[in-house]
Amino acid sequence: MKRYLILLLLSFHGLWAQVQFEARVSKNTLGLNERLQVDFFMNIDGDNFNEPSFDGFRVVGGPMQQVSQSWINGRSSFEKVYTYYLLPNQKGSLIIKQATIEYNGRVYKTSPVKINVTAAIEQPKDPNDTSVSADTNLYLVADISKTNPYVNEPITVVYKLYFSYNIGIRNFKELSKPKYNDFWSQNIDVKQLVLEEGMFKGEKFRYVVLRKTVLYPQKSGKLTIEPLSLDIDVELPTNRRNIFGQMQIKQDSKRVSAGAKTISVKALPEAGKPADFSGAVGRFDFKVTPSKTELKNGESLDLVVSVAGKGNLKLFTLPKPVVPNALEMYDAVHNEQVNTPLSGMVGKISDSYTIIPQYKGDYPIKPMQFSYFDLNSGSYKTISSKEIIVKVLDGPTATNATAPNSGVQKNQVVANEQFKYVKLETKLEPIAQNDFFGSKLFYGLLLIPFGLLPIIVLAKKKKEAIDGDVVGNRIKRNNRLAKKYLSEAKKQINNKEPFYVALEKAMHNFLKAKLHIETSEMSKDNIKEILLSKNANSEAVNEFIALTENCEIARYAPSSSATIQKDYEKAVSIISDLEKQLS
């Protein structure tokens, strides 16, 4: 009876005993390259154990389960432990979240555990620890071409992974990407990892090039390149051998970092800096090229301002031409043909301006200058273009008030075919046998000039009326430009930015032709009011204005070829509808 009473009391004691379920960690602060052991301990045999997600960590071992039960002095004890080994993926404060179990119909949870992860630390060199042996056999190196460049001088960073012949590499993963604050950067694609051999720290190593980057510093001073860090799965030799005497290989992981690099950037010298210097650094050639210099009334020319060579081509602006008031110049279409190899940018950039003359005459386009800093000589260089004379052969004549810069002199006399020299020699011919005077041919030829005279007068008056109709000529030019730019947009349908520039110009010139307005009058409200007053459909007007506003945004926003094709078709449809409604 006494024995059964003791067992009953022990049973009640087990029921009344407090349930213990908690998470225990090997350390609360560890380096980025250290492992963390996490034990989920319970003093009861719980069911349905659910591990946490381990956000910010990578599980490199576990779960491993251990159960122990004992009787001491008549008292029983029970322990169950789930063990995990973790590697942190990032620095900072990380949380190991709650794990859960079920016991007697109730759910028990562990308390969250806060872990502070610091930068990688130097570990003790234990010769029996195979994970430490990788320290002297595995290196990540950032080779920098120059550590004291000028502002906007290109430098290269090549990341190489060196590893000795004693270890093997199975896989690697980027933990942190390098950051290039205050640099313009361009990655060079490494299409395939190629195993090479080379000397490192006086020994022969194998290595692979992982990443290549071209950098252009954008300000002077000490700039820091944040490091590239990798988590690498390695194969390391052990002190054990198999039954055939072969050394056994152990798989492990190793974290390596290229380390932060400091670049001391020199400012460009102030002495001798030209007033028009816009930040170009390198070696360049500068040209200003007109498509033609002689035009008829209503024709246009393209003026191309271009810079070619080697340097920071994408990081400066081209000078803008200055033209007389009688030449109408439209916004530039920018074009870049630039490659970026490891040595830096090379190629050509250009701005193309469409210029349309308003009046007859000769018009000068002033010489242009382009300045750059030459890295070879360490000095500034300036290139000047020649003056360009645009000759407009016909069209309305400008007055001094309308075209002050036209280049037409006040009392200029233009020679033409009406004034000829008197012939100094006489050429006599024999008189025909048949008398020409009084013949039918004589009277016919005599009357022909009188019949042609009214036709000539009418044709001349009509031409003068056409030439004098400046507004009408401008409408015709705008119509032609709208068709020209709509055609250009179709050609550039695979190039987003040129497409939307041409499409926007086509729609603007369509409005100029139909509404008889200038660019300065093209406000959203003004366009809408004029179109509606001309009985245009309100839906078509709203679609036209929305598409015009979208052209500027779409140049820089991501867009697919399907979206560009849809915008082109919409523009053609809207212009066609408005053409019918406004005619």
Q: What is the pLDDT of residue 131?
A: 43
- Greatest distance between any 2 Cα atoms in the chain: 173
Q: What is the pLDDT of residue 403?
A: 46
Q: What is the pLDDT of residue 544?
A: 80
User: 417: buried, middle or exposed (CB in 10 Å: 19+, 13-18, 0-12)?
Assistant: exposed
The sign of the CA dihedral 331, 337, 339, 343 is negative
| pLDDT-derived band at 247, boundaries 50, 70, 90 | low
User: 459: buried, middle or exposed (CB in 10 Å: 19+, 13-18, 0-12)?
Assistant: exposed
| pLDDT-derived band at 15, boundaries 50, 70, 90 | very low
Q: What is the pLDDT of residue 446?
A: 77
| pLDDT-derived band at 451, boundaries 50, 70, 90 | confident
What's the rounded Cα separation, in Å, for the pair 210 and 192? 9
Residue 571 CA, chain-centre distance (Å), reads 26
Phi, psi at residue 375, to the nearest 5°? -70, -30
Taking the CA atoms of the chain, what radius of gyration do you get in angstroms? 42
> Are the CB atoms for 511 and 527 separated by under 8 Å?
yes
Instruction: For residue 487, give the 3-state DSSP assignment.
Output: helix
Please say if the pLDDT value at position 190 is more than 50: yes
With residues binned 3-state (H G I as helix, E B as strand, rest as coil), the percentages for the chain, rounded to 5, are 25, 40, 35
pLDDT in tens, 319-365: 999 999 888 899 999 999 999 998 999 999 999 999 998 888 899 99
Pick the closest to residue 514 from 500, 527, 499 (CA basis).
527
Residue 72: strand pairing partners? 75
What's the rounded Cα separation, in Å, for the pair 268 and 279? 9
Please say if the pLDDT value at position 409 is more than 50: no
Q: Which two tokens stand for residue 220?
A: 């002077």
Please say if the pLDDT value at position 466 is more than 70: no
Please say if the pLDDT value at position 128 is more than 50: no
pLDDT in tens, 296-324: 887 899 999 999 999 999 999 999 999 99
Q: What is the pLDDT of residue 119?
A: 82
Q: Of 200-209, 214-223, 233-242, which has the strongest mean pLDDT?
A: 214-223
Lowest mean pLDDT among 145-149, 252-256, 280-284: 252-256
What's the CA angle centered on 500, arms 496 and 503, to 5 degrees?
140
Please say if the pLDDT value at position 59 is more than 80: yes
Residue 421 CA, chain-centre distance (Å), reads 67
pTM: 0.52
What share of the chain has pLDDT > 90, as a percent?
Answer: 30
What's the CA angle centered on 49, arms 46 and 53, to 5 degrees?
150
Q: What is the pLDDT of residue 407?
A: 44
What's the rounded Cα separation, in Å, for the pair 389 and 136? 72
Instruction: For residue 327, give the 3-state DSSP assignment.
Output: strand
Q: Which two tokens stand for residue 131?
A: 């994970």
| pLDDT-derived band at 401, boundaries 50, 70, 90 | very low
Average pLDDT, the chain: 80
pLDDT in tens, 472-519: 555 566 666 667 767 877 777 777 778 878 878 887 787 777 777 766
Q: What is the pLDDT of residue 526?
A: 79
Please say if the pLDDT value at position 153 is more than 90: yes
Q: What is the pLDDT of residue 220?
A: 93
Q: Is pLDDT larger for residue 60 or for residue 412? A: 60
What's the rounded Cα separation, in Å, for the pair 94 and 56? 7
What's the rounded Cα separation, in Å, for the pair 289 and 308? 13
**Who's near 475: CB < 8 A, 6+ residues apart?**
512, 513, 516
Mean pLDDT of 237-252: 69
DSSP alpha helix (H) spans, 248-386:
none
